[in-house]
Structure formats: C-alpha cells, structure tokens
C-alpha cells in the first residue's frame, strides 16, 4: 500500500506519550507543534464526507470513532481532560456523534458544509465530530443508504491523514522534521528573523487593513478523472496544472471585471514528499509553496503558463517559503505567551493579499473496514479564516473540487464545468510539457 508521507524521524518527541498526561493537565494543547497551535488558534477546520451503501446508528458510529482513534491517535489530543492515546468513554462518544433521518440526499454534501465553529464551543470535548444522515426509505436508486461526514480541527488532521484513513491505514504521526538534515546556521538565523518580522508586520497590517467579516460560501464539484487526464494530455500540461488553471481562471471571471486580479493571481499551493530538514514542523507532512499566475484571457495560453510557473518553482529551492512560515508560527506562539490577546480577531480576517489556496490531497481510495460501503465521489476540504480555498481530492474515478470561499466567488464555481466543456471542444496545437517534479498519482 502506497504511503503518502515522508518517513518519520527519531527525535525528542518519541517519548511524548509518557509525558502527555502531566502536560495536558497544565495545557490541553501542550503536545501541539507551533503549526498545530496556529491552526487551533485560528479555528481552522477540515472535513471528509462520502455516501455509503451501509446504514448507521449511534452504536455503529461509536465503533467507527474507535477505529479512527486507533488509526489516528492524535484525535485524542487537545481538549480539557484528554487522555492521549486512550479510547474515549461512552459519554464522549455520545457527545461527538450524531444521527439524523432524511427523506432524500438532495443537496448533500453541500448543505452540511460550514466553518464547523461548534467543534470549539466546548473545551472538554474532542476536537472532531462524526455525523451521519440515513435515508428513511432505505437505499436510493444509486444504492446510497447514508451519508457520513467527519469534521475536525485542522490541528489534528491533514489531507494525507484523510487519504490514509480512507484506506484503513495508520495515520499516526511520528516526528516529521529531519533533525539530521540541518540548514546552515546563517539560513536558520535569517529565516527566524524574517519569520519574526513577518509576524510583527502581519499583525500591524491586519489591525490597519483587515476587512469586515465576509459572507462565506461552500460548494463541491465532482469531475471524472478521465476527462482531466485526456484534456491535460491534449494540452501538454500536468493534470494538477490543468486543475489549478480551471479553478483560478473561472473564479477570476471574464472580461474587464475580474474578481481576484486583473494582472496576477497570488496563490499558495501544497505538496508532499519533498526533502525535509530540521526546520520543518514535527507534525505536518504538507509543505507550502507560493506562486503567481499571470492573468490571461485565453485559457490555453493561461494553463500552459501556469504549468511553466509550477515547474519553475519546483525546480528551485522550495524550502524558503516554508521555513519563513514556520518561523512566523513560532514567533506568534511566543508572543501569545506574553500577550494572550494576540493574535486578535482582526488578524484572522486578514489574508495578506493571497487570492487563493490550492490544495491537492493524496488519492483517496476506499479499502478495508474503515470505509466499507463508501462510494465515490469522495469529498475532502478545509476552512481557514479569510482564506479562499479549493481542495482537490482525487479518487479512482472522480476528482472532487471542494470550495470554501467568500460568497461572491461561489457563483463562478459553475463556470468551471462550462470552461472544461469549451476547452475539450477546441482544436489545440501540440505543446511540449515542461519537466516535472511531481505528478498527480
């Protein structure tokens, strides 16, 4: 079975569980890394949802939670009264699971998607929820008897965890930073300084320029993988470059009125399996990169430019952006210890001019008892305060696009399918693909 993550490295956290009980009594988030702490403070959340041919009740949901916790023990961290690594008692299982009966599945999963603020309302409950809707009359014409959704603090789960759990594989985290691969001292000092300055500047700018709270929207799309594969081959680009281009071009809009930018779309995107070093986060496998896509009206020219941009970024040193971000998280956490009111609410409403985050999670392919009965499409996404996000979740037959965005962008989501239809129908001259570092697996 394929692993999606860098190998764990031996380190000082190997014996963390022996110290966990004492630590979490003092601070429920004591075992969180700086990255985890930052996502927890921002109330960032993730979700996984799928339809199933199986029906569920409270007892069977409790069994699902038990399997999840056994495979991903980090789900037992981060709340008041937590006993890291231990099974949940019944009163906790009852509090974090729910079952409802519905007449039809019309509108699902979109009607379930939200910021998931309820996860943080009680500090004495685990930082995730499992909910299911069961069809009143039994399976529908497609054989779907229920729909399930897992919602969690992003501090506990990332896309690779979701992919591993879908395959009933262990999603436990060892130490993800490679202490043996040390960046030069000067680079570390420079990055720490830049991270501290970034935190300070970001705080100042946020308190001056943070916009009012925006209306937020959620939407999903499912596209057959063979369509994307065939079109990417036709255009001579990578599948992920095609997906990045379809989303950003459609959401930005047409003509003179552009919703994101008239010149350059600022994007962050994520990837796995890069060479890790001692400044990486000890929990998260994901690495972040920064990209700028020049706006073009002609889509074929645009997608090829996106492909060249992605290839160019990944052939360079891709550690610098990640190192600065890690340093910023560390500085924010240190500042919070001195001034608990920081970062404040205005900070979380400021996105620093980033138009969109594009997250390609590892392939989600159901296997084993954890996802018995689940059927494609599979949906996986995230919500971050003030950040427009599109999460791409590939399965065997479908790729789902999961949007968490300012409401003004949601209407343009439907343009993605129209754009796909239009480009498929065009005659396109052959194009040689630029060298690639990573392909969609």
Determine the pLDDT at residue 1: 33
Q: 44: buried, middle or exposed (CB in 10 Å: 19+, 13-18, 0-12)?
A: buried
- Cis ω before 343 (30° cut-off from 0): yes
Q: Which helix H or strand E contains 189, and what residues bound it? A: helix 185-209
pLDDT < 50: residue spans in the chain: 1-3, 6, 12-15, 437-441
| Dist. CA 194–CA 325, nearest whole Å | 9
Determine the pLDDT at residue 22: 64
- On whether the CB atoms of residues 168 and 71 are closer than 8 A, the answer is yes
Render the burial of 165-190: b for 16+ CB within 10 Å, e for the rest: bbbbbebebebbbbbeeebeeeebeb
Determine the pLDDT at residue 349: 93
Determine the pLDDT at residue 24: 67
Determine the pLDDT at residue 12: 45
| Dist. CA 302–CA 265, nearest whole Å | 12
Chain Cα centroid distance, residue 281: 16
Determine the pLDDT at residue 206: 94
Determine the pLDDT at residue 13: 42
Determine the pLDDT at residue 438: 44
Residue with tokens 């202490």: 179
Helix axes 320-338, 34-41, angle to 10 degrees: 70
- On whether the CB atoms of residues 218 and 356 are closer than 8 A, the answer is no
Query: Tens digits of per-residue pLDDT, 106-162?
Result: 999 999 999 999 999 999 999 999 999 999 999 999 999 999 999 999 999 999 999
DSSP tag of 319: S
- On whether the CB atoms of residues 324 and 198 are closer than 8 A, the answer is yes
All CATH 3.30.559.30 domain ranges of the chain, comma separated, are: 185-425
Tokens of 254: 């047409």
What is the topology classification, in CATH, of domain 185-425?
A: Chloramphenicol Acetyltransferase (3.30.559)
- On whether the CB atoms of residues 220 and 401 are closer than 8 A, the answer is yes
Determine the pLDDT at residue 254: 81
Q: If one looks up domain 12-166 in CATH, what number appears? A: 3.30.559.10
All CATH 3.30.559.10 domain ranges of the chain, comma separated, are: 12-166
């Amino acid at each position: 079975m394929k692993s999606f993550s860098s190998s764990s490295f031996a380190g000082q956290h190997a014996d963390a569980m022996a110290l966990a009980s004492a630590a979490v009594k003092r601070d429920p988030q004591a075992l969180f890394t700086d990255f985890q702490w930052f996502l927890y403070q921002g109330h960032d959340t993730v979700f996984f949802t799928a339809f199933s041919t199986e029906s569920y009740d409270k007892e069977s949901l409790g069994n699902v939670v038990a399997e999840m916790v056994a495979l991903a023990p980090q789900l037992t961290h981060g709340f008041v009264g937590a006993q890291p690594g231990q099974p949940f008692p019944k009163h906790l299982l009852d509090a974090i699971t729910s079952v409802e009966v519905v007449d039809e599945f019309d509108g699902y999963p979109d009607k379930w998607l939200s910021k998931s603020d309820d996860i943080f309302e009680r500090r004495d409950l685990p930082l995730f929820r499992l909910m299911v809707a069961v069809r009143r009359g039994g399976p529908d014409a497609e054989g779907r008897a229920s729909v399930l959704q897992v919602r969690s603090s992003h501090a506990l789960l990332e896309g690779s965890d979701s992919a591993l759990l879908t395959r009933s594989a262990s999603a436990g985290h060892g130490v993800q930073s490679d202490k043996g691969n040390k960046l030069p001292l000067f680079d570390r000092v420079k990055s720490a300084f830049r991270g501290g300055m970034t935190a300070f500047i970001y705080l100042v700018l946020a308190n001056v320029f943070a916009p009012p709270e925006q209306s937020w929207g959620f939407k999903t799309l499912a596209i057959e993988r063979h369509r994307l594969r065939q079109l990417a081959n036709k255009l001579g680009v990578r599948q992920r470059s095609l997906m990045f281009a379809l989303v950003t071009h459609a959401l930005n809009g047409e003509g003179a009125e552009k919703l994101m930018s008239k010149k350059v779309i600022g994007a962050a995107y994520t990837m796995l399996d890069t060479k890790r070093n001692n400044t990486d986060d000890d929990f998260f496998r994901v690495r972040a990169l920064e990209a700028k896509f020049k706006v073009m009206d002609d889509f074929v020219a645009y997608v090829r430019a996106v492909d060249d941009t992605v290839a160019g970024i990944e052939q360079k040193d891709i550690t610098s952006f990640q190192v600065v971000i890690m340093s910023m998280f560390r500085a924010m956490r240190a500042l919070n210890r001195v001034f608990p009111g920081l970062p404040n609410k205005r900070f979380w409403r400021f996105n620093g001019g980033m138009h969109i985050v594009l997250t390609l999670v590892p392939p989600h392919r159901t296997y084993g008892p954890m996802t018995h009965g689940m059927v494609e499409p599979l949906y996986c996404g995230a919500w971050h305060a003030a950040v427009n996000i599109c999460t791409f979740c590939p399965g065997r037959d479908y790729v789902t696009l999961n949007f968490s965005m300012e409401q003004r962008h949601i209407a343009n989501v439907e343009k993605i399918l129209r754009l796909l239809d239009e480009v498929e129908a065009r005659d396109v001259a052959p194009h040689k693909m630029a060298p690639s570092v990573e392909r969609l697996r």
